[in-house]
Amino acid sequence: MYTVLNQVSGKSFQCGSDQTVLDGALSNGFNFPYGCQNGFCGQCKAVILNGEIDYDEGNPEAISDDDIEANMALLCQCKAKSDLYIAVDEIDSLANIQIRSMPCRVEEVNHLNHDVVQLILKIPGSQSLQYLAGQYLDIEHPEFEPRAFSIANAPVNSNLLELHIRLVEGGQFTNFVFNALTEKTILRIEGPKGSFFLREESDCPIIFIAGGTGFGPIKAIIENLILMNSSRTVYLYWGVRTEQDFYLNLPSEWSEKHSNISFIPVLSEPDSSWSGMSGYVHEVVMKDFENLIDFEVYACGPPVMVKAAAKSCIENNLKKENFFSDSFEYANVGSTDE
């Protein structure tokens, strides 16, 4: 066992050589920021001030040469090879939220369009799941590897959980959900997980960038803002391929009912009847906002979209600490299979 000391908080924990530093932190009750846990999103980067770490399969994609030069590591992938002295900001908002494993029952399976299912899960009895709007959970089924899906409803009635699941070509679990899963089926969930959630202490205007079913966790955050009677200015950009891929009409309803919410739908493959915005959704945002210095941006969707959005936003003067993301990694076990 190695000792990992966080310079920022002055607190330490024990971490085994066979577990990642992030797993060691979480298992000891430390609320380190993280996202996909697959080495892509980069949410769990930290500075290694002293000590040695190693990766099982070489440097992950989210670690650049500049990061390595700056002694940064991806805590979800690296393992301690000695005692460590690190610097990472813990997330106070997660302090009282425990990751739990519990059974749940399929309450509803609603086909929203040609390739998206709305799954409503009910936690039985008096149990509930405490979570922050935007977080995700893992679904466990005895015939499949665990899969992660974002929670798509605000944490109001916490024994009902809404998920938006897109049919992935070749995806065994999503095909099962889309074609075979029935009501009253018993599943098991583990969560909540992730550091993609609203920073309530801020009053900055917010730009949400959603790609496909990346709309799900953003829906939860916007619903939470509405429930809070927040007056923060909100711009929601939802990008899909064709008009039929907009599987819910809620954004239009929000913008009609709430003067502080604007909805900008974007199609990447529009037909001749489309009169709205077209192209890549992050590029449309950049055309509308030349200077993002006063904004917060929350981006959720395919990894390529999230990565491109991060680059473009930073280039347009967004502060790095004001970019929050959750990327949907389709192929990897334990990743968001949306």
> Please, what is the end-to-end C-alpha distance for the chain in angstroms?
36
**Coil, strand or helix: which one is 65?**
helix
Residue with tokens 């936003």: 313
Task: Inform me whether the pLDDT recorded for 28 exceeds 90.
Answer: no
Q: What is the pLDDT of residue 329?
A: 58
Residue 130's pLDDT band (cuts 50, 70, 90): confident
What's the whole-model pTM score? 0.83
Q: Which two tokens stand for residue 333?
A: 């076990």
What beta strand segments (E) does the chain contain? 2-6, 12-15, 45-50, 53-55, 72-74, 78-80, 84-87, 100-111, 116-122, 136-141, 144-150, 160-166, 186-193, 206-211, 234-240, 261-267, 277-278, 296-301, 323-327
Q: Which CATH number, 1.10.10.10, 3.40.50.1100, 3.10.20.30, 3.20.20.70, labels domain 2-90?
A: 3.10.20.30
Distance CA 181, CA 221 (A): 27
Residues 306, 90: Cα–Cα separation, whole Å: 23
Q: Tokens 């530093």 identify what position? A: 21
pLDDT in tens, 142-181: 889 899 999 999 988 668 999 999 999 888 999 999 999 9
Peptide bond between residue 192 and the one before it cis (omega within 30 degrees of 0): yes
Q: Which of 281, 283, 282, 215 is nearest to 251 (CA)?
A: 215
Confidence (pLDDT) at 242: 97
The dotted CATH code for 206-327 is 3.40.50.80
Mean pLDDT of 226-254: 96
* Chain CA centroid to CA 8, Å: 25
244 pLDDT band, cuts 50/70/90, is very high
Q: Tokens 């609603």 belong to which residue? A: 110
Q: Is 3.40.50.1820 the CATH number for 100-193? A: no
The pLDDT assigned to 328 comes to: 67
Going from the C-alpha of 324 to that of each of 97, 207, 208, the distances in angstroms are 20, 10, 10
Nearest-angstrom CA–CA distance, 2 and 31: 19
pLDDT attached to residue 157: 62
Dmax (CA) for the chain in angstroms is 63
Domains 2-90 and 100-193 agree in fold: no
Task: Report pLDDT for 338.
Answer: 43
Residue type, 90: E
- Say if CB 208 and CB 227 are below 8 A apart: no
CA atoms of 300 and 329, how far apart (whole Å): 11
Q: Which residue has the higher pLDDT, 91 or 219?
A: 219
Taking only the tens place, the pLDDT of each residue in 48-59 is: 999 999 999 888
Decide if 47 contacts 86 (C-beta within 8 A): yes
Per residue in 77-124, pLDDT tens? 999 999 999 999 888 777 778 888 999 999 999 999 999 999 999 998
Segments making up each domain of the chain, as ranges: 2-90, 100-193, 206-327
